[in-house]
Structure 1
Amino acid sequence: MATGNNSSYDHDYEYIDTATPKPKSNPVGEDGSCRWDCAVLVVVNIVIFVVGVCGNNVVIWIIGLKMKKTVNLTWYLSLAISDFLFCLFLPINIVYMATGDWIFGLSMCKFTSFILFLNMFSSIFLLVIISIDRCISVVFPVWAQNKRTVKKASIVIILAWTVSIALSFPSTIVRDTTIVRDTMQKEEIKCYNNYEPPFSHFAVVFSRFACGFVVPFLIIISCYSVIIWRISSNRVTKSSKPLKVMSALIGAFFICWLPYHIVVLMEINPKYEKSLGIYTKVSVTLGSVNSILNPFLYAFMGEDFKNKFWRSVLRKIENALGEETHTTNRWVSGSSAVEASNAKVSTHM
């Protein structure tokens, strides 16, 4: 556990002053209960966990087992896996948010942070890949039809995940644990960012902002600007749905991640580091919302996926009802046979 001279933020982005281990405020009240703002965030994160796990699990199930592999479905599957992994470990952060005490050890402190940023980078890179792929398909339809293959898409996804892992690795270096005292003089363990050379606070934050937001956002905007221009100039295309979907994708990306990066950039300034508190927690939660939006924006809005989903659900219901009916008929037949046998015995007697 760290005993250095750093002042930074814990996993739940509460200001930590490790240089002076004195009583400090935390996300729980003096009686050990979660404050109202903390309670609201806990409830929201629980909803994100439930909806994210269920929604992304459905996407993985439908795409992985029920649909024929295509390039687009390969993108969606990888995106769903990334979001599913993030949501799967979200309960650990929920417990920490509710209690203010990190009970999971140093290794898990590093790992959960790594998963958070792995999801952030992999999701954003996949959105960029999907944008570029759609742009190429619109601008060069013949070339795309001949050259786009599932194998090539899988190679691109492996490269995207490799880069995401490399960019997420610094989070495992800067994460650390320390012991502090709360307002009741009770010792608590905090999981926080312990920035030391060569991973300085500014370098880590700026690299995440540049690689995880600015550059991807500019690429996405450029791709969809080209797509919108081509669709608008194509008189054959009458439907406005593609434009609405594109606007939703860009809007969700912008709304979910911009507040997080703004708050994290503000952390660099010592003037704001002690006062951000709840704003950082809200921005992290808002970024997590992206993990439950992706299944709806990328999968459930597709007609093929929706039709396959409802057919699979109806088939499951029909099979369940069929099995119940079959079991009931067998039970009724068995009961009738027993009654008939008893009647015969009674007659003979």
Structure 2
Amino acid sequence: MANLSLPTTFYPPLDNNTQQIRLLSFKDDGNFALEVFDLADRPDYIALSYVWGSPDEVDEIIVNGRSFSIHQNLFLALRAIGWHLRNFAEGQGKNEKSKLRVSGRGMEVETEIPEVQNAQSAKDEDVALSPGRWKYFWIDAICINQDDIPERNSQVQRMGDLYTNASFVMVWLGPDVDESLAHISKFENGTLELYSTASDVEIAEDVTVKNFFGAAYWRRLWIIQEFVLARTLLFVSDTRTIPLDVLMSKLWFNRDASVRRYPFVHTALSLRTSTRNVWLTLSSLLVSLGSHECLDKRDRVYGLLALVDWTGFRQPPIKADYSLSAKQLYGLICTIYSSGVDAYYFTFVAKALGVEPNIAPDV
């Protein structure tokens, strides 16, 4: 697995005892700057929601004058964001043909971007979502020193605040959904089926719709809290954007459907639109989201902490601590949930964390 982090001395230092964060910005020369801000006194920023992707597929960017390795999926997201920024700056939002320079792995080619129509209504063209306001970004793989355990603990612990306080959360589903956004934008309100009992629903079977709702992104555990906590969600592809409220207006929910075609999408959207009263315990979330994916099994817990209501627990809430092994984390959960939960729950938690079940393990 490639080492995607830089020496600790590269990162502008953070005081883990404060609410400091790093934010990334695009420079005019196509490279990037990384700066430190206090969360309470930060500029407007956008939080990126995406899938890390294969650790074997990496590209290089330049951050603060030094080479920085990132997973290819993030590289493609940054390339797309850069296109939107350039297109806005050059045409002030007008749909014009332009050249997009694609670089990576020692190759540079120029690709002509066809004339496009952004999938935005008059409301969605609000200045708050315009590329003209895209200046600072919070991206976990770049803004957190992943090799610094105390920093990683501190930053992961405040991810709920990071996504709640972002101007909006930008969703990158991957490089294969550009046509999907264009296609979905053409549907009339209430006609796009997320799932259906019918076996021959053309809308649900359309390949471009499948690319959108079937993207690997939806299966990622971390996106759940990102979805639920975001003020606003904006889907972004290579040349198009569509806000979540526009997408939701086009969806028709058959609540009595016995066959759900896209259960992971259904879970994310349902959690965001529900009151979540029955979802706010760690036990409910772990059981309900057991099929979602994460590279580190401990993230099955840490990726949900911002959604958990700890009211009524005598023990302190669980905090992100990557110095704990999965077994130690399991023991901590068993201690906090020492009463009122049956043995099946502990067996399920053990399976989620990849450890042997034990009702009262040593922490």
TM-score of the superposed pair, with normalisation by structure 2: 0.22
Higher strand share: 2
Higher helix share: 1
When Rg is computed on C-alpha atoms for both structures, the one with the higher figure is 1
